[in-house]
Amino acid sequence: MKDYYLRLTDLEINGLKNVKNGKLNFVNKRKAFKASVLGLYGQNGTGKTALIDALHILKLLLSGKSIPDEYCNYINVDSREANLSYRFRIYVSETENYDVDYEVCLTVDEQREESFSTSVVAEEVLPYLSEREGNLWNSLGKKKRRLEIKSEKLSYAYTDGEKRIKKHTFLQSTRTELIAPKKYYALLFGRKKETAERLKLISLMAKQKSQSLFFSVAFLQLLFEQLNASKTPNDELLFHIDILVKLANYGRTELFVLGASSTGKINLGELPIRYKASEKQEHGITGEYFLSLDEATELPEELFPEAKRLIQNINGVLEQIIPGLTISVADLGAVMLMENGEGKKGRRIQLMSNKNSKEIPLRYESEGIKKIVSVLHLLIGMYNQSSITVAIDELDAGIFEYLLGEILHILSEKGKGQLIFTSHNLRPLETIDRGFIAFTTTNPENRYIRFANIKTTNNLRDFYFRDIVLGEQNEPVYEMTNNAEIALALREAGE
């Protein structure tokens, strides 16, 4: 049983997609709840999905995974880089906690690939080209755009009762300085030349793979080797390593992000199933795999019991949400060698829907039911575990609005973990505390706000509609459209 829990409390985005600057605090300052919930609402194209993307980047970084090159296109067109800042609070006891800030700067590294003249094909083709054509080929080396992690920074401030230690940086990496401050470099890695050379190699590998240096497996492994080699570990060293381990564990096993890509997989015939392994399993490793809705899925043999347990947990809640509906796993037999090249034994399974004593493949159910099934096990985890953070883009897609409002009301009032979601359905504005709601604005320099001057008797949904028309907040939340111009444009487009 863990003796602490970790929660994301603040996020600042600069230069990501259409958010030049945006700050969000996830703490409900109106009333103390065990759960942390934030629903983000706003006009299309005003930064809701950018929030989920920032959280997905966080998960990749903390998990030591590569950030895909496609994220080069996520940097704002008017910016040369994207700066993301995350603040976590680690709760150790009622009086003891510490805030950890993780800042990362992302930029685009444009590399020119090997020119045509040095390629194997060129040896055969160049002799037949004129000098001008040959020079042209030489200049045509393709440009490859790769996301680069320009810098990382970790800081913390500690609270013990009434005493609070001033925030200070204990780990920083930039293009010009591998590890700073210098005193912490010596504390963490000692002064051996071979350790320094190995650290440079780890840094180079992380850079080439667009991975976080601090949370890469090789970096953490080197830290533990240094710790084991020390006869009398320094308390400060242990504390700093403990912070890194807690954040890495959070990213790998407790932070779940379902963005537009995951939602798209549902529509394409794949259902994302994610799970947090039980504490009885070795290492408590998190898992993720996709179950196809169109055909049977091959699973490693050791994951088959986990899939059945997962479905059983989902069914207990699913029957209450959609009366009479359960899902099951049809076992289609053993596979001696899985097709994905893993060289493992596996099982072929098919997800089935059971209702009114009829069993049909789940792929024939509505998109709404598939969406509920795909997120339900994550919501169960958020309801029961304080450290679980679940972020979902367009949570309302395909879900009946009354049901959505009731589910969110239960999660916010009685849950223990953290839920961050975007939505267009305004029903939750009437069912959850307004301290759980934030809004986007039309100003890219100040994308996220909380509404002010709301009376206790105000209906937040009605208040939001009124503000769209009257603009009573400091920032406009909707760029007004003209119905007559829309009608005219529709008519002209059809001529």
Tens-digit pLDDT profile for residues 152-203: 999 998 876 666 677 888 899 988 888 888 877 877 887 888 888 998 999 9
Res 415: pLDDT: 96
Residue 142 binned pLDDT confidence (cut-offs 50, 70, 90): low
Res 115: pLDDT: 47
- Of residues 114 and 104, more confidence is placed in 104
Q: Is 366 helix (H, G, I), strand (E, B) or coil?
A: coil
Mean pLDDT (whole number) for 130-151: 68
Provide, rounded to the nearest whole percent, the portion of the chain with pLDDT above 70. 84
- Of residues 104 and 252, more confidence is placed in 104
Domains detected in the chain:
1-116+149-254+385-495 (3.40.50.300), 280-381 (no CATH)
For the chain, give the mean pLDDT: 83
Res 260: pLDDT: 65
| 56 has pLDDT over 80 | yes
Res 127: pLDDT: 60
Under 8 Å CB-to-CB from 225, ≥6 apart: which residues? none
| 1 has pLDDT over 60 | no
Highest mean pLDDT among 40-49, 112-121, 269-278: 40-49
Res 272: pLDDT: 64
Mean pLDDT (whole number) for 220-232: 83
Residue 469 binned pLDDT confidence (cut-offs 50, 70, 90): confident
In angstroms, the Cα distances linking 21 to 234, 294, 309, 443 are 40, 42, 43, 9
Residue 282 binned pLDDT confidence (cut-offs 50, 70, 90): very low
Res 186: pLDDT: 79
Amino acid at 321: I
User: Which two three-digit tokens encode residue 281?
Assistant: 């399993």
Helices (H), 209-303: 217-229, 235-253, 260-267
- Of residues 229 and 134, more confidence is placed in 229
Res 253: pLDDT: 85
Res 355: pLDDT: 86
Instruction: Kindly report whether the peptide bond that precedes residue 181 is cis, defined as omega within 30 degrees of 0.
Output: yes
> Could you tell me if 362 and 291 are in contact, meaning their C-beta atoms sit under 8 angstroms apart?
no
Secondary structure E strands in 315-386: 326-335, 346-355, 358-361
**Full-model pTM:** 0.86
Crossing angle (nearest 10°) for helices 401-414 and 367-384: 10
Res 279: pLDDT: 42
Residue 143 binned pLDDT confidence (cut-offs 50, 70, 90): low
Establish how many alpha carbons lie within 13 A of residue 438's alpha carbon, considering only the half-sphere containing its beta carbon: 27
Res 278: pLDDT: 46
User: Which two three-digit tokens encode residue 479?
Assistant: 């760029």
Q: Is 206 helix (H, G, I), strand (E, B) or coil?
A: helix
pLDDT tens digits for range 254-280: 999 988 666 556 555 666 665 554 443
Query: Any idea of the CA torsion for 417, 422, 428, 432, to the nearest 10 degrees?
Result: 30
Torsion over CA: 269, 250, 404, 322 (sign): positive
Res 388: pLDDT: 93
Query: Any idea of the CA torsion for 185, 191, 195, 197, to the nearest 10 degrees?
Result: 90
| 395 has pLDDT over 80 | yes
Res 283: pLDDT: 36
C-alpha 446/C-alpha 83 separation (Å) is: 15
271 burial (CB, 10 Å; 0-12 / 13-18 / 19+) is buried
User: Per mean pLDDT, which range of 77-91, 121-135, 302-316, 331-345 is the poorest?
Assistant: 121-135
